[in-house]
Amino acid sequence: MRFPRLIILLAALLALAGCSGQRSVTVIKLAHGLDQSHPVHLAMAYFGERLAAKSGGTMRVDLYSGAQLGSERECVELLQLGGLGMTKVSSSGLEGFAPEFRVFGLPYLFRDDAHRWAALNGPVGQEVLLSAEKRFLRGLCYYDAGTRNFYTVNRRVEKPADLAGLKIRIQESQIALRMVRALGAAATPIAFAELYTALQQGVVDGAENNPPSFHLSRHYELCKYYILDEHTAVPDVLLISTHLWNNFTPQQKNWVQEAADESAVRQRELWGGATEAALAAVRKAGVEIIAPDKAPFRDRVAAMQADVAREQPMIGALARRIEEVRP
């Protein structure tokens, strides 16, 4: 059960806080589930460097990678409790905390990268970014998580019909669940940290994620096919607990926000190279990279998108505003 585990994690974090409580430096604990070589981890390390520089050493970020302090959802819940300062989460993981984030899970929402970043950095993107504040979670910036693509253990996928009958791991996202079902597969929510074993044991037949995560998770050791269908471009979000944020002075808030914004720029610079390197590495390891015609995938999810817009007017309105954005 999650609750007892959260109590244990919270007790451990409080013990860590006690170790630094006698210091004059404000220490922010930032935990996430990624490998230390991941471009998002590197961006968060840069965030810590910039914050230390801006604050003259009076603020420090302690990074805990690889799910040391819990899963993605557990870290978010620890932020809500005030037991953890910051985390990185996929926007899909925030759908249960702020429904506005569901809009990013809609397949083929963005026309291209220019449209995506114009929307995320514009009024509609910033509105969504701050929509979880009422749940004690403040979004500081978006990180590039590229496009999400399917990968499978042993079935070649070139069209939606090829997904029929497959069990595909998804994040905890109702939109992702509906999308995968619309494409003909069975959607199975599993924590990312548990996915390698799930693929190994046949609990699922495949998953979907961006190229760097596919590579660094070593899922390519088990999955023979990577399908560049680019069904979604779900951003990552750098979060801070409002319990912590509201205790900062105006100057400290400015330092944190500026450092986050600068880390977002750095992360986007790192992302492109990481994506190319990941695809080259998995191809060298024997993975077949398939670039299918995306039109059949778009057509297959069109009815699902229309249903979501009708059933959830707020999501439909946000999607229309994003569609209207011009770079």
Instruction: Quote the pLDDT of residue 23.
Output: 55
Give yes or no for residue 11 having a pLDDT over 70: no
Least confident of 3-7, 145-149, 176-180: 3-7
Domain 148-233+277-324: give its CATH architecture. Answer: 3-Layer(aba) Sandwich (3.40)
Query: Would the CA dihedral through 94, 95, 97, 101 be positive or negative?
Result: positive
> If you average pLDDT over every residue of the chain, what do you get?
93
CB-CB contact of 78 with 69 (8 Å): yes
Distances (CA, A) of 14 to 32, 73, 81, 103, 210: 18, 19, 11, 35, 34
Of 176, 188, 182, the closest CA to residue 296 belongs to: 182
Q: What is the pLDDT of residues 276-292, one digit of tens each?
A: 999 999 999 999 999 99
In the DSSP assignment, the letter for residue 192 is G
- Please report, for residues 27, 92, 138, 176, the alpha-carbon distance to residue 133 in angstroms, rounded to integers and kept in the order given: 22, 16, 5, 23
Residues in the chain: 327
**2-145+235-273: in CATH 3.40.50.720:** no
List pLDDT tens digits, range 236-246: 999 999 999 99
pLDDT tens track for 182-216: 999 999 999 898 999 999 999 999 999 999 999 99
Decide: 181 and 188 in contact? Cβ < 8 Å: no
What phi, psi does 64 have (nearest 5°)? -125, 105
Bridge pairing between strands 206-209 and 148-152: antiparallel
Side-chain-side CA neighbours of 240 within 13 Å: the count stands at: 19
20, pLDDT greater than 50: no
Lookup: tokens for 28: 């922010």
Asked whether the domain spanning 148-233+277-324 has the same topology as the one spanning 2-145+235-273, the reply is: yes
Beta-carbon contacts of residue 294 (< 8 Å; ≥ 6 apart): 108, 229, 230
pLDDT tens per residue across span 71-87:
899 999 999 999 999 99
Q: What is the mean pLDDT of residues 3-20?
A: 50
Residue 265 CA to residue 57 CA, distance in Å, equals 22
Is the pTM of the predicted complex or chain greater than 0.75?
yes
Give me the residues paired with residue 226 across strands.
151, 289
Structural domain boundaries in the chain: 2-145+235-273, 148-233+277-324
DSSP state for residue 122 in the 8-state scheme = S
Question: What is the four-CA torsion angle of 129, 124, 121, 208, rounded to 10 degrees?
Answer: 70
Dist. CA 67–CA 215, nearest whole Å: 17
112 three-class SS: coil
